[in-house]
C-alpha cells in the first residue's frame, strides 16, 4: 500500500538510515528531518535540517505529512537536562505539530529501557508498570506518557515502539534476548505506520522472535506484524554466555549505578 507522505525524524541515525531506504519505494513523499544535513537520494525525498527543540521549525517541516515516524533524540544515557530537551520537549513538539496540522498517525520510538529493572526470568508485557533502568529510560517513559496524553485528549493515533537492541547481528550475550534485526525493525515500523486508523494508542515491544527474549511480542490485533528472526541462530558466534540467573535484571550493565552516576553532578 502507498504510505502517502511520511516524515521521519532522526533520519541520519542508525535506524533512520535503514528505515529511510526501506520506506522510499512505498512513500509518495519522504520528508527527512535531522539536525545534521542530509541530501535527497531520490526524487520523492525532501530533507530538512531541524533542531527538534525548535517548535516552529518542526511544525513547518511536518506540514503536509500523513504519518510521522519519530526516531530523533538522544539515544542513550546522558545528563537529565539534555534528555528532557531532546527527547521529551522534542517529542512534545512533534505531537503538537501533528495536532495542529492534522497528521493522522504518529509512531514514537520508545525503548526497552523503560522496563530494564524487571528480572530476566519475567516475560514482561507493555501494560506492566514501568521500571526504567536509568535517566534515558525515564525520558522514554515521558515520551510514552506524552503519546498517551495526545491520544486521549486530542484524538491522535499514536503507537509507541519499545525498540530492542538494533544490530545487524547479535554481538554480546544480552543481545540473544534483546536483538532487533534490521528486517524485523522495518516490519515493525511499517506495521505501526499502516495500522488501522481506528487504533488510538498502542505500546509494543519491537524485538525479534528471540528464543530467550525478555518481552512479550505484540498482539497481532494491535500491530499486525510477527517478527521472523531469532538471535539463537547467531548464538555460537556470540562471545560469552547469557547470565542464567532469572533474578538478574534485564538491563544488565545499564542498570549499574555507575552507568548513571557519570552523568550526575559529583
Question: Catalytic site residues?
Answer: 136
* Residue matched to cell numbers 536509568: 134
**Cα 141 from chain centroid?**
12
The per-residue b/e assignment along 156-195, b for 16 or more CB within 10 angstroms, e otherwise, is bbbbbbbbbbbbeebebbbbbbbbbbbebbbbbbbbbbbb
Sign of torsion over alpha carbons 59, 60, 66, 68: negative
Q: Residue 165 is placed in which grid cell?
A: 537492541
For 155, left (φ over 0), alpha (ψ -120 to 50), or beta?
A: left
d(CA 65, CA 161): 20
CA dihedral 163, 168, 173, 179 (to 10 degrees): 30
* Residue matched to cell numbers 516524515: 7
Question: What number of other Cβ atoms are within 10 A of residue 149's Cβ?
Answer: 15
Amino acid at each position: 500500500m502507498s504510505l502517502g507522505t511520511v516524515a521521519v525524524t532522526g533520519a541520519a541515525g542508525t535506524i533512520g538510515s535503514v528505515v529511510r531506504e526501506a520506506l522510499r519505494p512505498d512513500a509518495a513523499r519522504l520528508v527527512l528531518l535531522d539536525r545534521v544535513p542530509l541530501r535527497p537520494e531520490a526524487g520523492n525525498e525532501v530533507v530538512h535540517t531541524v533542531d527538534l527543540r525548535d517548535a516552529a521549525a518542526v511544525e513547518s517541516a511536518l506540514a503536509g505529512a500523513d504519518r510521522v515516524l519519530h526516531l530523533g533524540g538522544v539515544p542513550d544515557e546522558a545528563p537529565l537536562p539534555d534528555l528532557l530537551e531532546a527527547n521529551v520537549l522534542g517529542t512534545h513538539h512533534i505531537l503538537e505539530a501533528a495536532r495542529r496540522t492534522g497528521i493522522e498517525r504518529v509512531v514514537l520510538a520508545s525503548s526497552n529501557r523503560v522496563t530494564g529493572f524487571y528480572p530476566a526470568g519475567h516475560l514482561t508485557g507493555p501494560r506492566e508498570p514501568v521500571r526504567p533502568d536509568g535517566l534515558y529510560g525515564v525520558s522514554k517513559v515521558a515520551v510514552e506518557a506524552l503519546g498517551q496524553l495526545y491520544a486521549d485528549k486530542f484524538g491522535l493515533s499514536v503507537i509507541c515502539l519499545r525498540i530492542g537492541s538494533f544490530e545487524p547481528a547479535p554481538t554480546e550475550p544480552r543481545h540473544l534476548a534483546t536483538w532487533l534485526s534490521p528486517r524485523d525493525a522495518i516490519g515493525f515500523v511499517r506495521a505501526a505506520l499502516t495500522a488501522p486508523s481506528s487504533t488510538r494508542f498502542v505500546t509494543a515491544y519491537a524485538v525479534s522472535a528471540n528464543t530467550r527474549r525478555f518481552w512479550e511480542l505484540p498482539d497481532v490485533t494491535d500491530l499486525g506484524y510477527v517478527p521472523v528472526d531469532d538471535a539463537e541462530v547467531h548464538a555460537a558466534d556470540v562471545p560469552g554466555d547469557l547470565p542464567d540467573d532469572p533474578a538478574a535484571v534485564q538491563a544488565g550493565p545499564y542498570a549499574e549505578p555507575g552507568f548513571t552516576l557519570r552523568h550526575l553532578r559529583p
